[in-house]
Amino acid sequence: MVVCAAAGSLAAAHLTASSSADTAVTVALTACGAPPARMAAGPVRFQVTDDSRDFVNVYVIAATGNDVYAELQSLAPHSTVALSTDLGAGSYALRCVFSNGKIGTSEPISVSGVDDGAVPGYLPLPDLDMQPAVAAYTHWIGGQLPGLLAASKTLDADVARGDLAAARKDWLVAHLDYARLGAAYNAFGDFDGEIDGMADGLPDGVHDKDWTGLLAIEYGLWHGESAGGVRALTQGLVSSVNGLIQDFPSEEVDPGDVPLRTHEVLENALQFELTGIADYGSGTGLATTYANTQGTAELLDVLATLIRQRDPALLTTARAQLAAFQADLSADRTAAGSWIPVGSLSVKQRQRVDADLGQLLETLAEVPDLLYPRTSA
């Protein structure tokens, strides 16, 4: 794996005493170090010192081509941090990208010998290369919001006429519509809390007068609240979704959120849905988790080109594991077709869900690192 280090607390973990295996390299605005012209294949560790007044990112790159083999992020002026990797035979160089915009490259480093542990190179990712994926995902989110509004209005209409049985069915439709949008939550601002906030942290918990949104409605519908008591919440939901639709075109999806959420959405599902923490009475945690997988599938689709350029096998594996996990969830229903509450899963069902999700999360955890922005490597 590539070893990354940064200034501050991360850097402290990489500050090590020099040894015979260490190679001291001093970088400056005038030169990106003077590494040895020849090195043996195998583990290498550069003790990099920034002799400038600017922060610097230092990369081990292929002397020809675009591959990167290791990186050191935000090395502070006049500090020394270890940059470690494992190199096979080939020609490499150091690349220095300073915070003032200056870029420098060292003389080539010729590495000879055999090393079974050599790390594979990876393509850098300029910020602009992420923009098509961000634009595609933003467009997809915008296209999903009218469906969320329609489902919210249907739910409100059910409650308005006092049909709480219909409201419980239509609540799930609205909640799943929102659960598919996981990577965009940061772009929703305060609307996220208004629409799907949990009661945790509120002074009066589930009885707090300021608790709003889908989960507050869930609590009311499954805990004997009257239609009149729930109506204010469903009206508020419609208002909040309308507000989100009006606001969303002026918001921006953070490019870093898109690859990060490929892993984080299902990690959150494991933490909140599959433990029952986010269940306020409906017992539909598996349904919510399935909606989360649908959102994850969309993220993999918009990122497919970028992932495939860097690791095509990763994309294939992730999609296969995601499909297997979705099949697990789909199988966990009653004969009537309703979702089995998480707490009612058999030991065998739970073991299958946990095992397949664990494998999937391990695979998806590689995506954010693979698509980490490296503007000028």
Q: What is the pTM of this model?
A: 0.82
Dihedral sign for Cα 29, 1, 269, 259, please. Answer: positive
- Residue 23 CB: number of other CB atoms within 10 A? 16
254-302: pLDDT as tens digits: 888 899 999 999 999 999 999 999 999 999 999 999 999 999 999 999 9
Considering the domain architecture, whether residues 222 and 180 belong to the same structural domain is answered as: yes
- Statement to judge: residues 353 and 229 lie in one domain: yes
- Domain end: 70, 104, 122, which one? 122
CA–CA separation, 83 and 106 (whole Å) = 15
Work out the angle between the directed axes of helices 285-310 and 127-160 (0-180°, nearest 10). 160
pLDDT in tens, 233-255: 999 999 999 999 999 999 988 88
Distances (CA, A) of 139 to 181, 182, 253: 12, 14, 10
CATH number at residue 158: 1.20.1420.20
**Tell me: the pLDDT tens digits for 106-117?**
999 999 999 888
Residue scoring higher pLDDT (372 or 20)? 372
The DSSP call for residue 341 is P
| Whether 130 contacts 176, CB under 8 Å | no
* 138 shares a domain with 95: no
The residue among 104, 122, 140 that closes a domain is: 122
Question: How many whole angstroms separate alpha carbon 309 and alpha carbon 66?
Answer: 12
pLDDT value of residue 21:
65
SS3 196: helix
- Identify whether residues 86 and 185 lie together within a single domain: no
